[in-house]
């Protein structure tokens, strides 16, 4: 099997598995309990929190541990909204962001969705025209389908100038771009473990210290009252160890980019049309193939032993054209229906890329549907 779907989930490194196995005898206990078993679990949990914090240059006290990136997005967006009158986002956000914003819209918030035509992110000036005191901006750092890097540092600057709040979905940025939470200037940042080889169901939301954040769940006072519920200590241990490896992932980016460029050039020669614009992370290529249907192409590749996707994994079961690519290219609707995402990671080898390229050639040169 050749795995090229790292933007959905990265393979779990052996070091993460070992750490979780070693922690299992103590991680079962409730870390909120004050007895010895609870304290042992709490120690593991806080060590993991520290690892997560260090991976983004933050303080551990500002990290809220969540049950995955979706919850982190919900907490960051809805928690910061606090009855705000306006939310500004884009038309190409991950469903976890888009649906959180839609919930606020149903509650009466005025929502502005900026266009990303041709895959080009909104400029800071365009964003600034929609801002005012108390406005919430909810926006991604790295597009999950095309890898396009949004200028969130510039967005943060214009948000400060207009006294607006900024939430950044960094679930696809962690391990691909250096992150310094304090220097970035955002108010909240969402992270997900499975994007860097940690277990699914573990995530975190960094919150700027001193912010008034409304919990999105009801229950106990865990996570300093910001996220009720007993945390999954064992999963957080895995998340923490995966965060220790983000430096190694960053070091591998040039090599991964070369591999991505190699397979992308091959697929363009085979008729693929690239979606998205630079700057991009080196981990992903999104291409459309005229006269093909994306789901059929991915199924044919699966039979060849190559794992790729048509877009966000949480939407792929719908078998609908990519909403992201459709929004980027509204005048070329064939792109959305035929888009395929190839995403790589530090585990990807040159042999993987060569074998995958050969499989694409075999499939694409057959009779098209």
% of the chain beyond a pLDDT of 90: 90
Gap between the Cα atoms of 273 and 339, Å rounded: 9
pLDDT at 85 (0 to 100) = 87
Q: Any idea which residues carry the catalytic annotation?
A: 314
Gap between the Cα atoms of 91 and 206, Å rounded: 24
The helix (H) or strand (E) run that includes residue 137 is strand 136-140
Gap between the Cα atoms of 166 and 137, Å rounded: 5
Mean pLDDT of 202-225: 89
pLDDT at 316 (0 to 100) = 47
Mean pLDDT of 257-267: 98
Residue 287 pLDDT exceeds 50: yes
Which of 3.40.50.300, 3.40.640.10, 1.10.645.10, 3.30.70.260 would CATH assign to domain 14-244? 3.40.640.10
Confidence band for 368, pLDDT divided at 50, 70 and 90:
low
Report how far apart, in Å, the C-alpha atoms of 287 and of each of 72, 163, 350 are. Answer: 29, 39, 20
Gap between the Cα atoms of 36 and 43, Å rounded: 11
Residue 225 pLDDT exceeds 90: no
The C-alpha R_g of the chain, in whole angstroms, comes to 21
Residue 83 pLDDT exceeds 80: no
pLDDT at 224 (0 to 100) = 86
Gap between the Cα atoms of 234 and 198, Å rounded: 11
pLDDT at 207 (0 to 100) = 97
Confidence band for 247, pLDDT divided at 50, 70 and 90:
very high
> Measuring CA to CA, which residue among 176, 168, 199 is closest to residue 68?
199
DSSP string, 286-319: EEE-TT--HHHHHHHHHHTTEE-BSS-HHHHTT-
Residue 312 pLDDT exceeds 70: no
Q: 368: which 2 tokens? A: 């098209």
Residues 6+ apart with CB under 8 A from 364: 270, 271, 289, 292
Confidence band for 209, pLDDT divided at 50, 70 and 90:
very high
pLDDT at 58 (0 to 100) = 97
CATH of domain 2-9+247-364: 3.90.1150.10
Residues β-bridged to residue 137: 88, 166
Domain boundaries defined on the chain:
2-9+247-364, 14-244
Asked if the peptide bond before residue 279 counts as cis, ω within 30 degrees of 0, the response is yes
For 118-159, write each residue's pLDDT tens digit.
999 999 999 999 999 999 999 999 999 999 999 999 999 999
Residue 320 pLDDT exceeds 60: yes
For 330-344, write each residue's pLDDT tens digit.
999 999 999 999 999
Residue 43 pLDDT exceeds 60: yes
3-state SS, residue 35? coil
Per the CB < 8 A criterion, the answer to whether 92 and 328 are in contact is yes
Residue 314 pLDDT exceeds 70: no
Q: 317: which 2 tokens? A: 């079961």
pLDDT at 323 (0 to 100) = 94
DSSP string, 50-102: HHHHHHTT--GGGEEEESSHHHHHHHHHHHHHTT-SEEEEETT--HHHHHHHH
For 165-191, write each residue's pLDDT tens digit.
999 999 999 999 999 999 999 999 999
Confidence band for 75, pLDDT divided at 50, 70 and 90:
very high
Mean pLDDT of 308-334: 81
Mean pLDDT of 285-292: 96
pLDDT at 369 (0 to 100) = 46
Per the CB < 8 A criterion, the answer to whether 275 and 336 are in contact is no
Mean pLDDT of 284-298: 95
Residues 6+ apart with CB under 8 A from 231: 31, 45, 65, 222, 223
Note the Cα 182 to chain centre separation in Å: 19
Gap between the Cα atoms of 16 and 19, Å rounded: 5
């Amino acid at each position: 099997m050749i795995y090229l779907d790292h933007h959905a989930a990265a393979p779990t490194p052996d070091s993460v598995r070992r750490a979780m196995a070693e922690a299992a005898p103590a991680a079962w206990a409730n870390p909120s309990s004050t007895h010895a078993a609870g304290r042992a679990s709490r120690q593991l949990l806080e060590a993991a929190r520290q690892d997560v914090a260090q991976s983004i240059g933050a303080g551990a006290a500002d990290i809220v541990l969540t049950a995955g990136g979706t919850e982190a997005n919900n907490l960051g967006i809805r928690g910061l909204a606090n009855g705000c009158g306006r939310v500004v986002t884009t038309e190409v956000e991950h469903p976890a962001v888009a649906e959180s914003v839609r919930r606020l819209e149903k509650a009466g918030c005025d929502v502005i969705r900026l266009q990303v035509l041709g895959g080009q992110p909104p400029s800071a000036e365009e964003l600034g025209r929609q801002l005012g005191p108390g406005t919430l901006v909810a926006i991604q750092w790295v597009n999950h389908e095309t890898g396009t890097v949004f200028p969130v540092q510039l967005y943060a600057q214009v948000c400060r100038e207009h006294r607006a709040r900024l939430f950044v979905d960094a679930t696809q940025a962690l391990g691909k771009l250096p992150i310094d939470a304090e220097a970035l200037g955002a108010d909240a940042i969402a992270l997900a473990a499975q994007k860097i080889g940690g277990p699914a169901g573990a995530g975190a939301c960094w919150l700027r210290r001193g912010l008034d954040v409304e919990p999105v769940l009801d229950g106990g006072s865990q996570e300093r009252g910001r996220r009720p519920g007993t945390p999954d200590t064992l999963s957080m241990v895995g998340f923490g160890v995966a965060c220790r490896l983000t430096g190694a992932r960053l070091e591998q980016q040039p090599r991964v980019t070369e591999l991505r460029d190699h397979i992308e050039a091959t697929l363009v020669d085979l008729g693929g049309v690239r979606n998205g614009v630079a700057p991009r992370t080196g981990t992903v290529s999104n291409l459309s193939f005229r006269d093909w249907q994306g789901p059929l192409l991915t199924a044919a590749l699966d039979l060849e032993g190559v794992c790729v996707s048509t877009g966000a994994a949480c939407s792929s079961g719908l078998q609908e054209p990519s909403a992201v690519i459709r929004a980027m290219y509204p005048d070329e609707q064939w792109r959305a229906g035929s888009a395929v995402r190839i995403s790589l990671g530090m585990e990807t080898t040159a042999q993987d890329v060569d074998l995958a390229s050969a499989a694409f050639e075999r499939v694409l040169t057959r009779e098209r549907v």
